[in-house]
Amino acid sequence: MPKAAVATAVGKPLEIMDLDLESPKAGEVRIQLGASGVCHSDLSVTNGTLPLTLPAVLGHEGAGTVTELGEGVDHLKVGDHIVVSWVPQCGACYMCKHDQGELCEVGSVAAMSGGMLDMTPRFSHEGSPVFQMAASGTFSEETVIPAIGAVKIDQSIPIDAAALIGCGVLTGFGAAVNTASIRKGDTVAVIGCGGVGLNVIQGAKHAGAERIIAIDMVQGKLARAEKFGATDLVNASDGNAIGAVMELSEGRGADVAFEVIGLGPTIEQAFQMTRRGGHAVIVGVPAFDVTMTITPAMDLLFQEKQLRGCWYGTSNVHRDGPALARLYTEGTLLLDELISQEIELAQVNEALEVMGSGEIARSVIKY
């Protein structure tokens, strides 16, 4: 009977409770969690920005050890260390076969349903179902996930560092390396320097960007961005961020601009600070009622700008997860430096409260 942090109602703190957990069904695995990152998307569920059937175990950025296999699972074994993918990727649907596993037609249904691939959860409390966020539910000592959402990694990778690969690193690093077309010597602007934004920055550096302009309103976040590879820092509270980017790019604008907040005005700013022929990438998760007004259609045509969405770093998790783990072991990917504090499960509400303060890149629950 694992202990878990459960969202019971929008606007209320998570409740720590003991839950019943079914054994994995066909195509599923049971995981003993070792660590779980506390991500802004978890906060978005608690405040109602992201809809989810409640009650639900939150958490979607985790890593752990396989303890039980469901029928038909033959690519994993008990004792394997895995990273949880909150978009399970089947490898066989139309999207997966077109190298767009982040849009997997099988896994996306589970990720949105609050359950497994059959859209039913494995958690319950006193006989009533308790759903789980994004086919994951990593705010729990144990969970059951689809086997296609379990990404095997080398056991030498520290479990707390591995947990971060599952969301913030894959999303941010992937946005720069997979979604964008960064060329060696490019100028890149990143609006929003939280956990995901920091990974956009180090992904842009890895892709060969020469100038990386970090933009935020919190000075503490900007200071941290410099450690991850930002070459220029712009405090947006001081004035015109678009003008600052133009000044730093000889008046042209950024080759690529990333929005990593999820607000209409900053999405528009990202597009406006992009040069002619460049492109803006939207990484932040907006509320469903957020709209944007970009530019007159003729202006879009004449300037040949591109605006692109980015879901889960345009990542094939079974390829990119292990690749990121290798970069970490080689010393070229910062993971330990993302961890601002390690906490117990009972401290998860405090971690959600301090998110955005600028003092915390990532809080990690250690089990």
Burial of 206 from C-beta contacts in 10 A (0-12 / 13-18 / 19+): middle
Q: How far apart are CA 96 and CA 85, in angstroms?
A: 15
Which pair of tokens denotes residue 88? 């399970």
For residue 361, list its beta bridge partners.
none
Q: Is the peptide bond before 55 cis (omega within 30 degrees of 0)?
A: yes
Give yes or no on whether 3-153+335-366 and 173-310 have one common fold. Answer: no
Phi, psi of 236, deg, nearest 5: -65, -20
Instruction: Give the DSSP H or E segment for 258.
Output: strand 254-259
287 pLDDT band, cuts 50/70/90, is: confident
Cβ(10)–Cβ(47) under 8 Å? yes
Query: What are the start-end ranges of the E strands in 127-192?
Result: 128-132, 142-146, 150-153, 187-191
Q: Which amino acid is residue 140, in one-letter code? A: S
pLDDT tens-digit series, residues 56-84:
999 999 999 999 999 999 999 999 999 99
| Closest C-alpha among 240, 242, 258 to residue 186 | 258
Quick one: fold of 173-310? Rossmann fold (3.40.50)
pLDDT, the chain, mean = 95
Q: For residue 95, list its beta bridge partners.
A: none
| Segment 103-155, tens digit of pLDDT | 999 999 888 889 999 999 999 999 999 999 999 999 999 999 999 999 999 99
Q: Which residue ranges make up each domain of the chain?
A: 3-153+335-366, 173-310
Phi, psi of 28 (to 5 degrees): -125, 165
pLDDT at 360 over 90: no
**Predicted pLDDT at 202:** 97
Q: What's the average model confidence in pLDDT over 89-95?
A: 95
If you search the block for the tokens 């079914």, which residue do you land on?
22
pLDDT of residue 94: 97
pTM for the complete prediction? 0.94
Closest CA to 278 of 256, 259, 262: 256
3-153+335-366 under CATH 1.20.1250.20, yes or no:
no
pLDDT at residue 297 in the model: 85
Check if the beta carbon of residue 363 is closer than 8 Å to that of residue 340: yes
